[in-house]
């Protein structure tokens, strides 16, 4: 039996909810900033609604997208460097 989508019975479409939550998590935007961005596109949402969406769907969205992110490499190499000190190579 397939799992029911957690976004199914919300007033706003799935794409708008995911867009708002992604923007809040991906960029350093407050909930009010996300509301302003959505308002520019003609979507009227309350700040508390965006905050509830982030609290409800943020952890699951982060968990699902983490495996697709490329990890930064922490290995680095320092080559030996020779400099001239007082006319001699050190």
Q: What is the pTM of this model?
A: 0.68
Q: What is the pLDDT of residues 18-36, one digit of tens each?
A: 999 999 998 999 999 999 9
The encoded tokens of residue 28 equal 């350093």
Q: What is the pLDDT of residues 33-58, one digit of tens each?
A: 999 999 999 999 999 999 999 999 99
Domain ranges for the chain, please list them: 14-63
Read off the pLDDT of each residue in 13-17 and give the average, rounded to a whole number. 92
Higher pLDDT, 2 or 25: 25
- Decide: 35 and 50 in contact? Cβ < 8 Å: yes
Q: What DSSP state is assigned to residue 88?
A: E
List C-alpha distances in Å: 81 to 33, 78, 89: 48, 9, 10
Over 48-67, what HEC string results?
HHHHHHHHHHHHHHHHHHHC
């Amino acid at each position: 039996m397939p799992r029911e989508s957690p976004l199914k019975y919300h007033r706003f479409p799935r794409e708008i909810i995911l867009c708002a939550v992604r923007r809040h998590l991906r960029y350093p935007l407050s909930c009010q900033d996300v509301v302003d961005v959505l308002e520019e596109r003609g979507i009227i949402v309350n700040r508390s609604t965006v905050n509830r969406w982030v609290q409800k769907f943020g952890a699951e969205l982060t968990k699902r997208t983490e495996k697709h992110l490329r990890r930064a490499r922490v290995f680095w190499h320092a080559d030996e460097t020779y400099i001239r000190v007082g006319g001699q190579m050190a």
